[in-house]
Amino acid sequence: MWSLVKLDIGNLECLDNHLFDALHYCGTYSQHLVPKLTTLLLTAILDSINENRIASMIKSWWWTDDELHTVSHFKRVSIDLWGWALDVSMEKWLEHCHQEGLVWTLS
């Protein structure tokens, strides 16, 4: 999965919080599961998924182009909420990131 740049996750009944924990950026290029990931698409988020884990994972992947990192960073995040409520602070944070270049959509 070293070369994966786009991850589209949707309608998975077996999806759980462990996936978002595994995708959390927490180190260097050699320690990360998908170091080239730039696009994340999440569809049909289940009630069993903790929105704080998703938010934490997305935040772990964001920095501006001016900051030096050894892995890619998210350029696009799309979340289909399906009745799942996004925390107001997370929405404000995403808007801040949008001003720095992140493309994000919620539906």
Domain definitions of the chain by residue range: 6-106
pLDDT of residue 46: 63
Q: Is the pTM of this model over 0.75?
A: no
Share of the chain above pLDDT 70, in %: 73
Rg of the chain's alpha carbons, rounded to an integer?
Answer: 13
pLDDT band at 83 (very low <50, low <70, confident <90, very high): low
Which of 13-22, 25-34, 89-98 shows the highest mean pLDDT? 89-98
pLDDT band at 45 (very low <50, low <70, confident <90, very high): low
Q: From CA 88, how far away is CA 92, in angstroms rounded?
A: 6
Mean pLDDT of 9-35: 73
